[in-house]
Structures are given as C-alpha cells and as structure tokens.
Amino acid sequence: LAKTTQPISMDSYEGQEVNITCSHNNIATNDYITWYQQFPSQGPRFIIQGYKTKVTNEVASLFIPADRKSSTLSLPRVSLSDTAVYYCLVGAFQKLVFGTGTRLLVSP
Amino acid sequence: EPEVTQTPSHQVTQMGQEVILRCVPISNHLYFYWYRQILGQKVEFLVSFYNNEISEKSEIFDDQFSVERPDGSNFTLKIRSTKLEDSAMYFCASSVRDPGGSYNSPLHFGNGTRLTVT
C-alpha cells in the first residue's frame, strides 16, 4: 500500500482558496487517488477521486502531475463549514488506509 | 441521495458483553466494510466483505469479531466479549465495484455507532 504524507494542519480564512498537497512516492500503476473529508463525530465523506491530470467536481479540484507522486486537493473559496479533517488515500481497493489527515481550520 | 445508515448511534455496554452493530448499506452496492476510530486517532480498517464472505481483514479483526449479512439489506458487526479498548466509533461503509477494474469505486460511510465499554 502506498504511504501518504500530508501536512498535519492548515489555517485559512473564509473566501480563500485552499490547496492541500499529499505526497505518495510509491504509488502503484493501478492506484487511484481519493480524498475524503471528515467532520467531528461523522463518517468520512468522499470528495473527489482521480488517476492523472486534473479532475473537477462541484466541490473541489484534484491536480495530479504526470509522475503521480503527489496530488493537490484544491478547495475554492472556503467557508467556515469546510473546517474538517481531509484525508488523501492511495491504494488497494478493498483496504483503504487512512493516515492522520490534514486538519483544516477556516476562520472568519 | 442514498446513504449508509447505522444503528444505534450510541451503544453503552459492560465489559465482557456481546454487542451487535447494525448497518444498512446502499442498496446496489456490493462491497461492505467496517472501520473504527478511537477518539482522537486514525480511522482504522477492520474488515471487508463481498459475496457473503470476508475478503480482507486487519490484525485488529481477531476472533472476538465477526460480520454477517443476514438478509439482503443488513450488514452487522458482532463483538463477542467486549473489552475497554473496544470503545470507539465504528463506521460501516459500502461501495460499488466496476467489474472491469478500471475505476476505484469510492467508499460511502455511515455516521457511525459510538461504542462505549464500561
């Protein structure tokens, strides 16, 4: 399973764009990169998934360089409700391993 | 949007007692999972289940744990004799797998059952 490294925490203000980078140097050819969001006392929630280049949905964008050894989750114009822990996961389909994630704090 | 539902939301039990945590996965999903999260710690994989059998399990999932899909909708986790260290949030998840293997179907999680062992 590919090991991931993310910043432990990040701070931002409402209305700013937030970019969270995850490194996964030993990503395998078949591995997808998936990001989840977790609020306190709730289950993780799927945000976005990608394999290469750029993926965008209604809540976020995911940028993956050609070597796929890292990825960046981009949250446009964050609000207070985006305060949460964000997890980058890479690996086998059936046994996703959650790291410590990035704790994002959005302030007014 | 369909969701994974878990009951109860909070379960308190005494050490040594058996508990069953219940989950209703999303109806067209084929893979089912249990994860747990001890307060302030990581989300940890316990077990995955497909086609009525365990497909993978972690070292946490010892003989005290078992899973079952007793009917077409429920998926349960049983802890036979609870220990204090089993106190945690237990999350059920489900996913659809593309048979072609070309898409890594994301997991959909429930909101968990908080298990407190006293």
Residue in A with minimal Cα distance to B39: A41
Q: Read off the pLDDT band of B101 (50, 70, 90).
A: very low
Does the distance separating the beta carbons of B106 and A46 come in below 8 Å? yes
* Statement: residue B97 has pLDDT above 80: no
A18 close to A75: Cβ distance less than 8 angstroms: yes
What CATH number has the domain bearing residue A26? 2.60.40.10
Distances (CA, A) of B79 to A11, A78, B13, B46, B62: 39, 41, 11, 12, 10
Q: Which domain holds residue A55?
A: 9-95
- CATH of region B5-97+109-117, choose from 1.10.357.10, 3.30.70.420, 2.60.40.10, 3.20.20.105: 2.60.40.10
Q: Which residue has the higher pLDDT, A91 or B75?
A: B75
Give the pLDDT confidence score for residue B103 in this predicted structure: 57
Domain assignment present for residue A2? The answer is no
Q: Pick from A43, A49, A93: which is nearest to B91 by CB?
A: A43
Does the distance separating the beta carbons of B31 and A94 come in below 8 Å? yes
Q: Distance, in angstroms, between B1 CA and closest chain A CA?
A: 13
Residue in B with minimal Cα distance to A49: B106
* Statement: residue A95 has pLDDT above 70: no
Can you list the pairs that A44-50 forms with residues at least 24 positions away whose Cβ atoms lie under 8 Å? Answer: A44/A87, A44/A98, A44/B43, A44/B91, A44/B107, A44/B109, A45/B109, A46/B106, A46/B107, A46/B108, A47/A73, A47/A86, A48/A73, A49/B104, A49/B106
Residues of B in contact with A99 (CB under 8 A): 42
Domain count, chain A: 1
Tokens of A39: 């609020």
Question: Amino acid identity, residue B44?
Answer: E
Domain assignment present for residue A1? The answer is no
Overall size of chain A counted in residues:
108
Domain assignment present for residue A4? The answer is no
Q: Pick from B55, B89, B106: which is nearest to A34 by CB?
A: B106
Does the distance separating the beta carbons of A45 and B110 come in below 8 Å? no
pLDDT digits (tens, 9 = 90+) for B58-69: 999 999 999 999
What is the percentage of chain B residues whose pLDDT exceeds 90? 73
Name the 3-class secondary structure at A106.
strand
Residue spans of the domains in chain B: they are 5-97+109-117
Residues of A in contact with B89 (CB under 8 A): 41
